[in-house]
Each structure stands twice: as C-alpha cells, then as structure tokens.
Amino acid sequence: MESAISDHLKCPRTLTRRVPDGYQPPFPMWVGRADEEVQQVVMGYLGVQFRGDAQRPAALRAMRDMVAGFDLPDGPLHYDLTHHVDNQGHENLMIVGYWKDIAAHHRWLQLPTVADWWASDERLSEGLGYFREIVAPRAEQFETLYAFQDALPGVGAVMGGISGEINEHGYWGSMRERFPISQTDWMQPSGELRVLSGDPAAGGRVIVQGHDNIALIRSGQDWADAETAERNLYLDEILPTLQDGMDFLRDNGQSVGCYSNRFVRNIDLDGNFLDLSYNIGHWGSLDQLERWAESHPTHLRIFTTFFRVAASLSKLRLYHEVSVFDARDQRYEYINCHPQTGMLRDAQPPQ
C-alpha cells in the first residue's frame, strides 16, 4: 500500500495523522501521480451565462469560440464542457481547462486573441454574461481520489500517472491528509473575499480578489458506461440525495461557508447532455468543507451507500479533487453576470 503523498513531496511531519500507523482502509482507492516537474497546475473555469432559449445559440457559439481558443499555443492540455441552471434561473455553460505549467498558462492568457477578447468592449453589449474563475494550486496544495484507475478526469488528466492503492482514505479527515502540505500546515484561511473593482449589482465588469486558502472541490460522477444495476444504483439511489445536498449548498451555502456551489452536467460542443456530472464548490476554508461533508445528512447517506458498494463497483466512476490556493493564485472576473454568480454573492464591497 502506498501513501497518497508522492515521495518527492514528503517532508518531516509537524502535524500528526488522525489514524494509527497500522491503519488499513476498508476498500481500495487511488490518487493521481505527477512527476517532480509539475510544481503548480492551473484550473481555468470559463463561463457563458444566458437566459432563455432565444440566447442559447449565441451562448453555444461563444462557448465554442472559447474552446477554439484552447487550440492556440500554450492552451490547456485537457478540458471538459458543462451546463447548469443556477438559482436565479440563468443557464450557464462552463469550460474547465487544465494546465500543468503556470508559465504556459500565463503565455496563453497574454495571447492577443485571448487577452483582447476578454478586454473588448464588445463583451459588454452582447447580452450574454461571461466569467472566468482561474486558480493555480501548487503541487502540495491539491489532492485527488478515484474509485478507478484509468482515463482520469479533471486534474488527474494532466498529472500523467496513477498510484497503487493508497492508505489515506476511508475516514473523516483523510482528504486533508492526502494534501502534501497537510504534513506541516493547517491550511487556515486568512484575508477576505473582496470586490476589487466594479459593482456586482450594476453588472458590467467586476473583479473579485480571493483570500488565502479558499478551497475548491470538484466531485464527479460518470455513469456513461455503467450497466443496468450500477446505473440504477446511481440514478435511483444516489442521485436524488446528491441533488438535495447540491440544492442545499446552492441555496443556503452562505450559512455553512460555501461561497459558490454548482452541480453541472457534462455536454458536448452542441450542448447535448452526456452521462457525466460534477460539483464545483468554492469554500471559505477546507475546515468548512470538511464539516459539511461529515455532518450533512445528504452526504452522510451517499457516503454510507458508497461504503456498501465500493468494492463491487465496475463501471460507475466516482472521484473528487480538492485544492486550496494562495490569494495571489486566484482570479475571479465577471462581465454582465447577475450578482449571485460565483464569488459575487459573498464578496465584500471595496473599502
């Protein structure tokens, strides 16, 4: 059995683990492995917001233009596309791109095609909303967990490898212990989520400044190849409870420290739904995410179901990735989005 923490990221511990040295997890799970050259990854969530069927074709065109931009030099190594309806009744198309080299991402961002498109005044008058939420965790600031070992989604797709069975899972607090930085650091938040420029209520352009140790979870479900029994397990037994939990966080997230919660369904370039989905949740701290996961009845129920079926799953693919970031490694930018979008709801007005 391996540690979730790669050898090159191990260091003398100043913080102890929650379980004894001889701990054995109840079922196997795996983590993504990257080599030493991967020092910081970039997760770029780009969005198009629209309302009503009349705007759909233009929104899909905008999404496809963004995807075309990924083919430019230094574009992301991996991406996927999603759709969700938010609690203001707006639809949102999101693209997440993953880079394993922050310098390449920076060069891509500076390309005139990309930079000028975001800066152009035309974006203000097209009737669509646009946003980009870009975060860059260092290698010691993120963890992954997969119930399968091939074709890793999300950040795993750019890590390049997969571990053997890992030790740090199957108990509350294990997600934290898979973060290399948890060996020496509590990942406590400091600072404030703040509007840097613009006014969310007025629309137009708004930039939000993040704070240290905002946490982001992507928790995914893939039932595309699942056969009848596993499909029914997911769609009839797990999904209704998961949906309740996601609705709770979308509508009441502020009360538990969740800045933004989106339960998104993967789509193709034409907007057709695929049998994959995931949650994108931004949290004020890793602690608050942990408290929700270990106490909310919805997550407890699906967690227990998973423990019952984990060892026998074959085609239902469940996974998550969690990261924390320094304030300077986050960028949240909104153009003509409604004031409940993403980080806008909880960002404090400028001083």
Q: How far is CA 278 from CA 166, 309, 344, in A?
A: 23, 20, 21
φ/ψ (deg, to 5) at 146: -125, 145
- Of the candidates 49, 45, 46, 44, which has an alpha carbon nearest to the alpha carbon of residue 92? 49
Q: Given the complex with ligand HEM, which of 23 and 117 has the nearer CB atom?
A: 23
- Of the candidates 10, 1, 46, which has an alpha carbon nearest to the alpha carbon of residue 280? 46
Tell me if 260 sits within 8 A of 246, measured CB to CB: no
Of positions 33, 90, 138, 169, contacts ligand HEM by CB under 6 A: 169
Tell me if 330 sits within 8 A of 347, measured CB to CB: no
Of positions 184, 303, 312, 314, contacts ligand HEM by CB under 6 A: 303
Element (H, E) at 108: helix 102-110
Q: How many residues bind ligand HEM (CB under 6 A)?
A: 23
- Region near ligand HEM per CB under 6 A, out of 43-51, 191-199, 202-210, 290-298: 290-298
Site for ligand HEM in 227-256 (CB under 6 A): 238, 242
State yes or no: residue 40 binds ligand HEM (CB under 6 A): no
State yes or no: residue 281 binds ligand HEM (CB under 6 A): yes
Of positions 40, 141, 174, 285, contacts ligand HEM by CB under 6 A: 174
Task: Please give the structure tokens belonging to residue 172.
Answer: 């509350």
State yes or no: residue 170 binds ligand HEM (CB under 6 A): yes
Shortest reach from residue 148's CB to ligand HEM, in Å: 13
- Looking at 161-272, which runs of residues are DSSP E strands? 161-162, 194-199, 203-209, 214-222, 258-267
Shortest reach from residue 344's CB to ligand HEM, in Å: 20
C-alpha 267/C-alpha 273 separation (Å) is 4
Task: Please give the structure tokens belonging to residue 192.
Answer: 């404030």
Q: Given the complex with ligand HEM, which of 114 and 242 has the nearer CB atom?
A: 242
State yes or no: residue 173 binds ligand HEM (CB under 6 A): yes
Q: Given the complex with ligand HEM, which of 273 and 303 has the nearer CB atom?
A: 303
Task: Please give the structure tokens belonging to residue 318.
Answer: 């469940």
C-alpha 66/C-alpha 132 separation (Å) is 11
C-alpha 332/C-alpha 205 separation (Å) is 11
- Region near ligand HEM per CB under 6 A, out of 99-107, 186-194, 295-303, 338-346: 295-303
State yes or no: residue 284 binds ligand HEM (CB under 6 A): no
State yes or no: residue 306 binds ligand HEM (CB under 6 A): yes
Shortest reach from residue 23's CB to ligand HEM, in Å: 12
Q: Given the complex with ligand HEM, which of 29 and 34 has the nearer CB atom?
A: 29
State yes or no: residue 172 binds ligand HEM (CB under 6 A): yes
State yes or no: residue 266 binds ligand HEM (CB under 6 A): no
φ/ψ (deg, to 5) at 258: -100, 115
State yes or no: residue 289 binds ligand HEM (CB under 6 A): yes
- Return all residues near 343 (Cβ < 8 A) that are at least 6 apart: 133, 193, 208, 210, 259, 260, 282, 332
State yes or no: residue 97 binds ligand HEM (CB under 6 A): no
Site for ligand HEM in 198-227 (CB under 6 A): 217, 219, 221
Tell me if 86 sits within 8 A of 92, measured CB to CB: yes
Binding positions for ligand HEM, rule: CB under 6 A? 29, 169-170, 172-175, 217, 219, 221, 238, 242, 279, 281, 289-290, 293-294, 299, 302-303, 306, 318
